């Protein structure tokens, strides 16, 4: 089906920036959305951002709006999450997710394909 592989996580100081990548491979869809979720121990997986592959329309969680930017390079089958003005509470494992559905929402169950996750740690 579809395989997703995240990369780009690491350690960054509060106020700094980091860019995550999500490389997609496998079958193609006439409609596809890529999203980013994040999760910390003891908390539910949290929606971060979503992008429609065709056209590039975006949607963000309120917690990251204005700081994070989701984008994609269709020629490389790769999505990105640019994270600026990072805060301590942004620390989490970040997961890339994909869905061929018509406007998937913000629930993990809305997405069919998942990457393995990449750790982002924000220090003071």
User: If you average pLDDT over residues 32-51, what whole number do you get?
Assistant: 96
Alpha helices in 10-124 (DSSP H): none
Cα separation, 94 vs 99, in Å, equals 17
State both tokens at 64: 């990251």
pLDDT-based confidence at residue 118 (cuts at 50, 70, 90): very high
Do the Cβ atoms of 5 and 94 come closer than 8 Å?
no
- pLDDT tens for each residue of 54-84: 999 999 999 999 999 999 999 999 999 999 9
Do the Cβ atoms of 90 and 72 come closer than 8 Å?
no
User: Is the pLDDT assigned to residue 20 strictly greater than 90?
Assistant: yes
């Amino acid at each position: 089906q579809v395989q997703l592989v995240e990369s780009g996580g690491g350690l960054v100081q509060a106020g700094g920036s980091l860019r995550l990548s999500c490389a997609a491979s496998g079958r193609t869809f006439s409609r596809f959305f890529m999203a980013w979720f994040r999760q910390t121990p003891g908390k539910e997986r949290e929606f971060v951002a979503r992008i429609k592959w065709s056209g590039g329309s975006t949607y963000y969680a309120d917690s990251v709006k204005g700081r994070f930017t989701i984008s994609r390079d269709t020629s490389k089958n790769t999505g990105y999450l640019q994270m600026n003005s990072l805060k301590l509470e942004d620390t989490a494992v970040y997961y890339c997710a994909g869905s061929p559905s018509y406007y998937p929402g913000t629930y993990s169950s809305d997405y069919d394909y998942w990457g393995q996750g990449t750790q982002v740690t924000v220090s003071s």
